[in-house]
Structure 1
Amino acid sequence: MSAPTTMRVFIPLSIRKRNGRPKIVPPADMVPDSDGGVDPHVLRAIARAWSWRRKLESGEASTILDIAQAADVTDRYVSRMIRLAYLAPAILEKLALERCSPAVSVKDLAAAAELAWKEQETAVFG
């Protein structure tokens, strides 16, 4: 009699929602070889905020409403997310260059931009 041809592999992964989208999460005791770094949604939101800030400063857009209409989003969303362009340089360096993942969501990251630069690091990275 021959050996069975089917092999079963069990990989303990879980699915969690992150920024409204499902994300496959490895087990808590797994140590990755290289950290994936910052969620791409965070980097995209920061880049978008800087783009909006440059448009306002250059005069390409005169109001937040102009930006919202061009981006097809609400003006409240633009006014909340544009705060990301005013994060402390140390925070932006850790997020963009060192790829340290924040301990908060994008919405909380935008709220942390209202804090003093010294307080932002503890608010963002814990």
Structure 2
Amino acid sequence: MTRATPIPETITLHVPFRVVKRGGRKEMQLPDGAARSRSSDNTLVKTLARAFRWKRMLESGDFATIAELAEREGIAASYVTRVLRLTLLAPDIVEVILDGQQAPEVTLAILMKPLSEHWQNQNDAIR
């Protein structure tokens, strides 16, 4: 536009997106081909961090059993066990999650379910 061109009173802007639930919160999902900002799923990242912290605590001998760790953390031992499974995820899956580039279907609920111990099978199941 130039100074001689009048500015219209109303501008209509069409932005295609859809709202999806992800990790218990709503998120805008852009269409394929649209530029995506890197936005990690905080719930997923925090749970991964917790899993690796608990694993380190168990391996270092700070806690002898999962039950002892769970009691100290004030949570159920079964939850600790499910979270600790995340330490068995393929490194490329962990990296994708930390970069915020995982598919919308990859949620904490999905990852807390038992997955194959073979990394290639995990990739096939998740992607």
TM-score, normalized by the shorter chain, greater than 0.5: yes
Equivalent residue, structure 2, for 1:100:
101
1:84 aligned partner, one-letter code? L
Matching of residue 77 in structure 1 with residue 50 in structure 2: no
Name the larger-Rg structure.
2
Equivalent residue, structure 1, for 2:22:
18
| Cα distance, 1:57–1:36 mapped onto 2, change above 3 Å | same
TM-score, length-scaled by structure 1: 0.71
- How far apart are 1:55 and its partner, in Å? 0.6
2:39 aligned partner, one-letter code? G
- Rounded to whole Å, the distance in 1 between the matches of 2:48 and 2:100 is 13
TM-score, length-scaled by structure 2: 0.70
Equivalent residue, structure 1, for 2:62:
60
CA contact (8 A) 1:84 1:113 kept: no
Alpha-carbon deviations, 1:51-80, whole Å to 9, x = none?
Answer: 010011000011111221222211111111
Matching of residue 116 in structure 1 with residue 118 in structure 2: yes
- Rounded to whole Å, the distance in 2 between the matches of 1:61 and 1:31 is 48
Structure 2 residue matching 1:57: 3-state secondary structure: helix
Equivalent residue, structure 1, for 2:49:
47
Q: Which of 1 and 2 has higher RCO (CA within 8 Å, sep 6+)?
A: 2
CA RMSD, Structure 1 to Structure 2 (Å): 3.0
Gaps of 5+ in 1: 1-8
Alpha-carbon deviations, 1:11-57, whole Å to 9, x = none?
Answer: 8887654333x32435x548654323331111111110000100110
Equivalent residue, structure 2, for 1:6:
none
CA contact (8 A) 2:40 2:100 kept: yes
Identical amino acids, percent of aligned pairs: 29
2:45 aligned partner, one-letter code? L
